[in-house]
Amino acid sequence: MLPLLALATAVFVTSLTETLPAGLLLDISGSLSVGESAAGQTITIYAIGTALTTIPLTAATAAWRRKKLLLLSIVGFAVANSVTAMSSNYELTMIARFVAGMAAGVAWALLVGYARRLVPEHLQGRAIAVAMAGIPVALALGVPAGTFLGKELGWRVAFWLMTGIAVVLIGWIVAFVPDYPGQGRGTRATFKHTIATPGVGAVLFVTFTFVLAHTIFYAYIASFLDSVGAGGEVDVALLVFGVACLISIWVTGAKIDQKLRLLALSATVLFAVAVTALGLAGDTPVVLYAALFVWGLAWGGAPTLLQTAVGVAGGRVADEAQAMLVTLWNVAMAVGGVIGGLLLSGVGPGSFAWAALILLTPTLGVVLLSRKHGFAAVATASASPQPPFEVKATPGTQLDTTPTVDHVNERR
Judged against a pLDDT cut of 90, whether residue 402 lies above it is answered with: no
**Domain annotation covers residue 388:** no
* More reliable by pLDDT, 191 or 97: 97
Q: What is the domain-level CATH number for residue 12? A: 1.20.1250.20
Distances (CA, A) of 187 to 5, 62, 134, 387, 398: 29, 10, 31, 8, 20
144-165 b/e (C-beta count within 10 Å ≥ 16 → b):
ebbbebbeeeebbebbbbbbeb
User: Is 257 contained in some domain?
Assistant: yes
User: Is the predicted pLDDT of residue 178 greater than 70, yes or no?
Assistant: yes
Q: Does 166 share its domain with 259?
A: no
Helix (H, G, I), strand (E, B) or coil at 119: coil
Query: What is the predicted pLDDT for the residue at 274?
Result: 96
Reported confidence tier of residue 376, pLDDT bands at 50, 70, 90: confident
Last residue of a domain, one of 186, 218, 252: 186
**Both 231 and 376 in a single domain?**
yes
Let me know whether 240 and 356 are in one domain: yes
Evaluate whether residue 389 is within a structural domain. no
Do 67 and 52 belong to one domain? yes
pLDDT of residue 191: 67
- N- to C-terminal Cα distance for the chain? 16
Q: CA–CA separation, 358 vs 360, rounded Å?
A: 6
Which residue, 164, 186, 208, sits at the end of a domain? 186
Within a domain: 62: yes
Amino acid sitting at position 210: F
Mark which of 132, 165, 186 sits at the end of a domain: 186
Higher-scoring residue by pLDDT: 117, 196: 117
**216 and 324 part of one domain:** yes
Residue with more model confidence, 36 or 357: 357
- Considering the domain architecture, whether residues 180 and 91 belong to the same structural domain is answered as yes
409 falls within a domain:
no
> Does 408 fall in a domain?
no
Same domain, 95 and 240: no
Looking at the structure, do residues 157 and 169 belong to the same domain, yes or no?
Answer: yes
**Residue among 338, 370, 369, 368 nearest 355 (CA):** 338
412 inside domain: no
Residue pair 245/356 in contact by the 8 Å Cβ criterion:
no
Distance separating alpha carbons of residues 251 and 272, to the nearest angstrom: 19
Do 316 and 228 share a structural domain? yes
User: Three-class SS of residue 400?
Assistant: strand
Instruction: Give the residue from 61, 313, 20 showing the smallest Cα distance to 161.
Output: 20
User: Residue 380: its pLDDT value, please?
Assistant: 53
Task: Provide the residue range defining the domain that includes 99.
Answer: 1-186
Supply the pLDDT for residue 188. 53
pLDDT digits (tens, 9 = 90+) for 378-390: 665 443 333 333 3
Q: Are residues 298 and 372 in the same domain?
A: yes
Give the Cα separation of 171 and 100 in Å (integer): 20
390 lies in a domain? no
**Tally: H helices and E strands in the chain:** 18, 0
3-state SS assignment for residue 394 = coil
Is the per-residue pLDDT at 256 higher than 80?
yes
Per DSSP, the three-state class of 89 is coil
Task: Give the whole-angstrom CA distance, residue 183 versus residue 404.
Answer: 13
Q: How many domains does the chain have?
A: 2
Based on the fold, state whether residues 284 and 145 are members of the same structural domain: no
Whether 159 and 90 map to the same domain: the answer is yes
What's the CA angle centered on 344, arms 283 and 52, to 5 degrees?
125
